[in-house]
Amino acid sequence: MDDEARRIKEETKKRFKTMTFSQKLEYFLMYYKWVLVLAAGAVLLLIGVRDWIENARRQEILGIMAIDCNSEFVGNASRQIKEELGSTDKYEDVSILPNIHADPESGEVDYQSRMALIAMLQAGEVDVIMMPEKSVETLEDAALFSNLSDVLGDNVTGDAVRLDGNFLVLEKGNPVIEELGFYYEPVYVGMVSYCRNEENAMTWLNILAGNKTGSEQS
């Protein structure tokens, strides 16, 4: 800083007490803007580190791929399923993934959606798939499904629900269809073989089947 600038700064300091608010603000921005920038950067950095730590502690306890459901319903349904599983840990999450779509006529899943689904399956993000009946055959070569007869036995006592080999079928009138905003019925529900959260998947499927103590009997 040259002598003239230093003189102006010293005179400004002397007048500071008589300055208006806008004059004071202009003064700070002129002489201390880098301090303000660095302080703001430090705050943002701390927020970022805090969020990173929070996210690192989060754990998915069940991953559900819901083909052609209403994404606006996902948040409430996720919280409800978490409660049904008995989890009260704020770092545990139930993920409902609504970003895969099927052709309403053929049940075919488009190429991009299919590749995304395969990637999520390989990453272990999907434990259960909910889909229209027409999509079952098109997805059976992408995902291996467990035989739900072995998981549920004869314990299918819920309303508007039945067992069909590897799949639990939610029929018209089943409350889950409305809770997730599916655009079709029936909804076929399959459990991915060797899924990451197998125990929780089995527990939830038992609940869907009307067997509230399913996890204890499995």
Phi, psi (5° rounding) for residue 47?
A: -65, -40
pLDDT at 103: 81
- What is the residue extent of each domain of the chain? 3-55, 59-217
Phi, psi (5° rounding) for residue 93?
A: -130, 145
pTM: 0.70
- The CA distance from 53 to 47, in Å, is 10
Q: Could you say which architecture CATH assigns to the domain 59-217?
A: 3-Layer(aba) Sandwich (3.40)
Sequential pLDDT tens for the chain (218 residues): 566 666 666 766 666 667 777 776 776 667 666 666 677 777 777 666 665 555 556 688 999 999 989 989 998 999 999 999 998 888 889 999 887 888 877 778 877 878 888 888 888 889 999 999 888 887 876 668 888 887 787 677 788 989 888 899 999 999 999 999 998 899 999 999 888 899 999 999 999 988 764 344 43
Going by the DSSP 8-state scheme, the letter that residue 110 receives in this structure is P
pLDDT at 218: 39
- Angle at which helices 198-208 and 74-84 pack, to 10 degrees? 100
pLDDT at 168: 92
pLDDT at 5: 65
